[in-house]
Amino acid sequence: MNFSEFSFWWVLILFSIPFFTVRWIGQYFNLWRGSFDSVGLAAMSLFLFVNASRSSFIIFACELIFNYILVRLMLRRQGWEAKMIATSLVAIDIAILAYFKYLNFFVEDVLGLLLPGVATSWQAQGGIPGMGAIPPGLSFYTFQMVAFVVDSFTSKKKRPIGIVDYVNFVSFFPQVVAGPIERRADFFPQIEAFRFKFTLDNFEAGLRWLSLGLFMKFVLADNISPYIDLEETGNAWLVWFSAYLFTLRIYFDFAGYSFMALGLAKFVGVKLTTNFLAPYTSQSINEFWRRWHVTLSTWFRDYVFLPLMGSRKQWAPFFLFLTFTLSGFWHGAAWNFILWGAYHGLLLLVLRYAGRPFYSFVGQRLFMPQFISWILTFGSVILGCLFFMETNVHRLATKLQTLVSPGAYSFANIGSAFSSFSGNEATVLTLTLGLATLVLLLEHIAVWQKRESEYDLLTSPWVSRALLALTVLLAANTPSQFIYFEF
Q: 345 with 325: CB under 8 angstroms?
A: yes
- 269 in Cβ contact with 195 (< 8 Å): yes
Distance CA 97, CA 144 (A): 12
Query: Is 293 considered catalytic here?
Result: no
Per the CB < 8 A criterion, the answer to whether 375 and 280 are in contact is no
Pure H helices in 193-234: 200-214, 222-224
| DSSP structural state of residue 454 | T
As a whole number of Å, the CA-based R_g of the chain is 24
In sequence order, which residues have a C-beta less than 8 Å from that of residue 275 and are 6 or more positions away?
179, 180, 254, 255, 258, 293, 294, 295
The torsion angle over the Cα atoms of residues 382, 362, 288 and 209, rounded to 10 degrees, is -90
Tell me how many degrees the CA angle 134-136-139 measures, rounded to the nearest 5. Answer: 75
Q: What is the spatial distance between Cα 77 and Cα 84, in angstroms, rounded to a whole number?
A: 10
Rounded CA-CA distance 431/429 in Å is 5
Q: Could you tell me if residue 389 is left (phi over 0), alpha (psi between -120 and 50 degrees) or otherwise beta?
A: alpha
Tell me the CA end-to-end span of the chain in Å, nearest whole number: 14
Q: How many CA atoms lie within 13 A of 259 on its CB side?
A: 28
Q: Which of 293, 331, 394, 444 is catalytic?
A: 331
| Length, in residues, of the chain | 487
Q: Is the peptide bond before 180 cis (omega within 30 degrees of 0)?
A: yes
State how far the Cα of 28 lies from the Cα of 76, in Å rounded to an integer.
41
* 42/57 Cα distance (integer angstroms): 14
Q: Which residues are catalytic?
A: 331
